[in-house]
Amino acid sequence: MTNTNNHDALPRKYPVLYQSTPRRRNTYHRQKSRRDWSDSIETYQNAAKQQYYLLLENHRQANHLMTLKYLREFTAQEIRAIWSKLKALLKKQGIVAFSVVEFTTRSKVLTSGGFWDFPINTIHYHILVDSSLSERQLRDIFNSACIEVGLAKNEFEVHYASIPDRTTFEHKCKYILKYDNFKDYAILPQPKTGINKICSIGKWFVNADGTRANKDTMWKEIVAGWYPKTKQP
């Protein structure tokens, strides 16, 4: 049965793509480090942790963060189709990036005077970009690509943030992945939507010599560094 919030109880045109009450723990108990974006809060954090350390280990670092926000709902099939076209256009324009898709939230004022951010059935992409282009040039490329794939001007927004240094980069990586100190803000997608949580555009993961890096090899080396084998006497 699909989980819904109160605001989802009315008849809907679009299926709800996020989980309102996700499982807390991994359902595959014998695989403690299982990584999955939709199985549980635990497996989401495992997946986010892996991607965070891969981003830090990578020999490419973003200096821009573009956020592409959809202002209306789409079906999972529509989201996949639009992104496939967008990714191709951005790559054609020379964009090298790493993207993370998230559900958009709205703030609700509580009777206590505080705020609660609840998810709505629309998405946005956080896109780490490594480029010598200016903010204006990047905005033009992203806006033009959205129009070219068929999005109307009132159906999306493009936002920009600079990433001037390593500290900011690491902070942004945790934020967009909703990892570690941002884990309470993670919103899990429904299983089997086919929407990729993360995606590389162009040759994002590279070795020190600029050749394409193998993420599996990178991850094995990261884990090996955490748990070095004890040398036998």
Q: Give 126-142 pLDDT, tens digit per residue.
A: 999 999 999 999 999 99
User: What residue spans of the chain are helical by DSSP H?
Assistant: 41-57, 76-92, 135-148, 166-177, 215-226
The low-confidence residues of the chain, meaning pLDDT below 70, are 1-12, 110, 113-116, 230-233
Residue 164 lies in a domain: yes
What is the pLDDT, as a whole number, of residue 3? 40
Q: Answer yes or no: are the C-beta atoms of 158 and 143 closer than 8 Å.
A: yes
Give 87-148 as a DSSP string: HHHHHHTT--EEEEEEEEEEEEE-TTS-EEEEEEEEEEEEEEE--SS-HHHHHHHHHHHHHH
Residue 38: closest CA among 69, 76, 94: 76
Residue 14 lies in a domain: no
Residue 147 lies in a domain: yes
Q: Answer yes or no: are the C-beta atoms of 52 and 174 closer than 8 Å.
A: yes
Measured from the Cβ of residue 66, the count of other Cβ atoms closer than 10 Å reads 24
What is the pLDDT, as a whole number, of residue 32? 78
What is the pLDDT, as a whole number, of residue 156? 98
Residue 18 lies in a domain: no
Residue 1 lies in a domain: no
What is the pLDDT, as a whole number, of residue 231? 54
Residue 119 lies in a domain: yes
Q: Answer yes or no: are the C-beta atoms of 123 and 196 closer than 8 Å.
A: no
Which domain does 202 fall in, by range?
A: 33-219
- Going by C-beta distance under 8 Å and a sequence separation of 6 or more, which residues neighbour residue 113? none
Residue 90 lies in a domain: yes
pTM summary value? 0.89
What is the pLDDT, as a whole number, of residue 47? 98
Q: Give 215-227 pLDDT, tens digit per residue.
A: 999 999 999 999 8
Count of domains forming the chain: 1
Residue 8 lies in a domain: no
Q: Specify the CATH number for the domain of residue 186.
A: 3.30.70.1910
Q: Answer yes or no: are the C-beta atoms of 17 and 195 closer than 8 Å.
A: yes
Q: Which amino acid type is present at position 120? A: I
